[in-house]
Structure 1
Amino acid sequence: MSAQKNGPVHSTETATVKIHSLAAMALLLSGPAWAGQSESAGFIEGSSLSVLARNYYFNTDRANGRSNQKDWSQAFIATYQSGFTQGLVGVGVDAFAYWGIKLDAGSGRTGTGNLPVGDDGDPDDEYARAGGAVKARISNTVLRYGQMSPSAPVFAQSVSRLMPQTATGFHVSSTEIDRLAVEAGHFTSGTDQVNTNRDGELWATYALVTTPAVNYAGARYKATDKLSLTAYGSRFEDIWNQYYINANYAIPLSKAQALTFDFNLYRTTDHGSAKAGTIDTTAGGIQAAYKFAAHTLTLAFQQVAGDQPFDYVGFGDTGRSGGSIFLPNSVQYSDFNGPGEKSWQLRYDLNMTGYGIPGLTFMVRHLRGQDIDGTRVTEGAYANKYGDGDKEFETDAEARYVVQSGPAKDLSVRLRLAWHRGDASTGGDQDQVRVITEYPFDLF
């Protein structure tokens, strides 16, 4: 199911859990922010400024008399990262500035999550916000305070719309031990994609209740070149405690063939005053990917055990869903996370580099979910959201091209299509088209 909040449907847009896990591991284990303090080049000397120009066309055609959602927008996303001052304790600053522009949108087709909507029901012509965080480093440990875009499996922003989400709080991360990356966070507010204030709410997305603070801690350990392990725990005060484990194992079969297995498990129980009601849910997924030459075939199974859906964080005054659902069947539209839901996915990827067209890739996948039953919940935030025997299916297709050289190097164009059918609890029937163009460039 996709999260529904204030009418519109939202998606975490997770392609695969493997991508999430490896990207997060790479962020923790590489980059100038993780070099030892003894290697600091200095506040100015180690700084960088980059801009991402993102153009986004979004069109959802919804059945059963619901209004369609459609807009075309442009964003400029600037990110500045200073170096650290030299000495035992290095200090620095991370900052961002976002500017979004309406190219085409109307009052009868709002709700995409790409543009703010005024009191008159019309999308705003433009919007902007800026923020940042101060940081301090000792050895290979960094403490930050301010506005950040978290990426933990139990507390992550969504990257599925025009602008990033942010959260305000403290974050500490460390790579003091070889092959081990640890982090912890304490956050008290969030900003969604279409609001500009820094003191918005933090939510339980499906329950539609807020929490005053989120705390989490976790670690990622690269046991061998083939095996990586991840474990996290989080607390949404007065809503839930949530725990997560992941194992990723890659088996090279030959120069052109490999098998990759990925296992993810969440366990969620209610906490404190239990503002969302009783929660006793286990959600897990396993996927196997077989790569042969330019082709990758993936099979995934996911199940939610419990009378409540698998729920996760939402950001900002509108409570738009975040990205902390690292399960294989959370895809372009649906999360396939209803109570008791079992879902399968079959996916095929083609990389055209092997056929002489580097930078061009294709993907198609089909998912089916069934056995959704929410009727055993009669009170609390999840009551009356699901029927008995609800089901859904979704087919997605994607084509993406990244320019490999020349003046437009790294320019990417991506076409994403989704066809979803299911009962009302899963979001019903709708077709979706997204065209996303991105051009990153470094100013220094």
Structure 2
Amino acid sequence: MHNPVRLLSLSIALGLPALAAGEGFFDDAQLKVLNRNFYMSQDFRNDSRFRNPQTGESKHFRAEWAHGVIATFESGFTPGPLGVGLDVRGLFGWKLDGGDGRVGDSNAGNGLIPRRGYNFDGKPKDDFGKVDVALKLRLFEDTELRYGDHRPASPVINASDTRLLPQSFRGAFFRNTSIKGLTLEGGKVESGSDRSATAHNGDLGTAYGGRFKDADDFIYAGADYRYDERFFFRLHHGRLDDVWNQTAFYADWRQPLGEGLGFNTGFKYFRTRDTGKSLLGDIDNDSWSAHVGLTAGAHALTLTHTRIDDDSPFDYLWNTWDFFLNTGSQISDFNNPNERTWMLRYDYDFAAVGLPGLMLIARYLRGTDIDGSKVGPGYAAYQNIRDGRHWERDFWLSYVVQSGPARDLTFKVLHASHRANGDHTAEADIDELRLIVEYPLDLRQL
């Protein structure tokens, strides 16, 4: 059987001259470069520790500092009812600081700097990188097909960009916007490329159950519908081969109330059931999250409640690590078996006091009723928990330069403290700091 990646590379090499000659391929192209400087540290408190994957030594502090460059070329499409295009993304990183004793496992932990070896059990790399490539087709102006490396943004598969370099998935994907307000999307994922990976053949799996060589693919499809500026709905379904079927429903409503006032509310629901060989055992999980919020000028206040209604955690595709439920946070996902979570969030826009571009987000989350006494072997970390509790406090400050040569230069300071109580042993006591500087360049506009 032919290797599809080699066939794709050969097709691109043979067809690129013809594509480039086509009107629209370069005329509508975009070339962007993002510089990202990222420092991340985790200070383990009380009796919490992490284990060095190279030496096995127990440590209480880990820290990494790295610089990344993400260069993205997105072509336009050749003219006609069938347009052809090409996307190429180069991702490169350099370790600035972080010895073997402080770098995480490049997996969950910090995840900025990869370690050598398939199991991330080697020394931290000094430099690393990869190239994402995707061939794309446009049909009748409203349908796009692509094969190659892609970053889906679906409730059931949302590629992560919370570390130095973004995650991507390899496979075939589609997107259609034929009906006004309605977007249809889906695809078949064959493999993943993690946030710190240097290849594209990573095994699929789940964030809390690990990777599985027996899971051949992930297939998903979904619909997003925006009725108007107030109402937005999402319905998506995904199947991780021999692990689960997962359905997600989102509903969001925003209502202006008058000068500077607004109300918003939303609901998110996930239904997860095991399928095929049930590699993670029996799963019968219903998880939901609802919020209400009020904005008044520069201020916004949001109250959220999340429930995990099953003897398993709310799980999701391997290392996508994004905010699927409203209470997903910087350190914890607040998704443990049978957990109930409340969150209070406050946003402030400093433009109100003459500092446009400066934003503050403060959040406090508290989770209770964690009970993993009946979890299956795939989630063994929860089996000894009967009355778990924990809380997290986040302070996020960001500033975007508004004008001048440094326009869009962004500074972010993200600090979080997490503490576990009761018999909640599945998570650690951590103080975490992230310092991020990003400078995007649109080379088409220089």
Is this a same-fold pair by TM over 0.5?
yes
Partner of 1:23: none
3-state SS in 1 of match to 2:101: helix
What is the count of residue pairs matched by the alignment?
A: 398
Q: What are the equivalent positions in structure 2 for 1:130-279 lying under 5 Å apart?
A: 130-139=131-140, 140-210=142-212, 211-279=215-283
AA aligned opposite 1:331: S
Matched, 1:432 2:438: no
Residue of structure 1 aligned with 2:28, choices 37, 46, 51:
46
**Contact 2:113 2:125 (8 Å CA) reproduced:** yes
Matched, 1:102 2:95: yes
**Contact 2:169 2:193 (8 Å CA) reproduced:** yes
Partner of 1:394: 392
3-state SS in 2 of match to 1:108: coil
Distance 1:355 1:426, change over 3 A: farther
Residue of structure 1 aligned with 2:306, choices 302, 306, 327:
302
Q: Which structure 2 residue ranges, 5 or more long, are not aligned?
A: 1-21, 51-58, 105-109
3-state SS in 2 of match to 1:182: strand
**Contact 1:209 1:276 (8 Å CA) reproduced:** no
Distance 1:242 1:310, change over 3 A: same
**Contact 1:414 1:437 (8 Å CA) reproduced:** yes
Shift of 1:262: 1.3
Shift of 1:350: 0.5
Deviations 1:208-255 (A, max 9, x none): 242210000000001232111110011001000000000000010012
AA aligned opposite 2:333: D
Matched, 1:350 2:348: yes
**Contact 2:381 2:426 (8 Å CA) reproduced:** no
Task: Provide the alpha-carbon RMSD of the alignment.
Answer: 1.4
Query: In structure 2, what is the Cα distance between the partners aligned to 1:146 and 1:121?
Result: 29
**Contact 2:254 2:263 (8 Å CA) reproduced:** yes
Query: In structure 1, what is the Cα distance between the partners aligned to 2:432 and 2:321?
Result: 19
Q: Which runs of 4+ in 1 moved over 6 A?
A: none
**Contact 1:75 1:99 (8 Å CA) reproduced:** yes
Query: In structure 2, what is the Cα distance between the partners aligned to 1:98 and 1:376?
Result: 43
Partner of 1:370: 368
Deviations 1:252-292 (A, max 9, x none): 00120101111100000000110000000011001111100
**Contact 2:149 2:169 (8 Å CA) reproduced:** yes
Query: In structure 2, what is the Cα distance between the partners aligned to 1:238 and 1:395?
Result: 37
Shift of 1:131: 2.0
Q: Which has the higher contact order (CA 8 A, sep 6+)?
A: 1
**Contact 1:286 1:302 (8 Å CA) reproduced:** yes
Shift of 1:129: 0.8
Partner of 2:420: 422
Query: In structure 1, what is the Cα distance between the partners aligned to 2:171 and 2:367?
Result: 37
Partner of 1:113: 111
Query: In structure 1, what is the Cα distance between the partners aligned to 2:226 and 2:394?
Result: 32
Query: In structure 2, what is the Cα distance between the partners aligned to 1:364 and 1:184?
Result: 35
Partner of 1:129: 130
3-state SS in 2 of match to 1:383: helix
**Contact 1:306 1:340 (8 Å CA) reproduced:** yes
Identity among equivalent pairs (%): 37
Q: What are the equivalent positions in structure 2 for 1:71-86 lying under 5 Å apart?
A: 71-86=64-79
So what's the TM-score if we normalise by structure 2? 0.87
3-state SS in 1 of match to 2:396: strand
**Contact 1:281 1:306 (8 Å CA) reproduced:** yes
So what's the TM-score if we normalise by structure 1? 0.87
Partner of 2:11: none
AA aligned opposite 2:246: Q
Deviations 1:102-127 (A, max 9, x none): 11111111111000123684321110
Q: Looking at CA atoms only, which structure, 1 or 2, has the larger radius of gyration?
A: 2
Query: In structure 1, what is the Cα distance between the partners aligned to 2:274 and 2:181?
Result: 33
**Contact 2:203 2:211 (8 Å CA) reproduced:** no
**Contact 1:62 1:429 (8 Å CA) reproduced:** yes
Shift of 1:380: 2.9
Shift of 1:426: 4.2
Q: Which structure 1 residue ranges, 5 or more long, are not aligned?
A: 1-39, 315-320
Query: In structure 2, what is the Cα distance between the partners aligned to 1:126 and 1:225?
Result: 45
Distance 1:336 1:155, change over 3 A: same
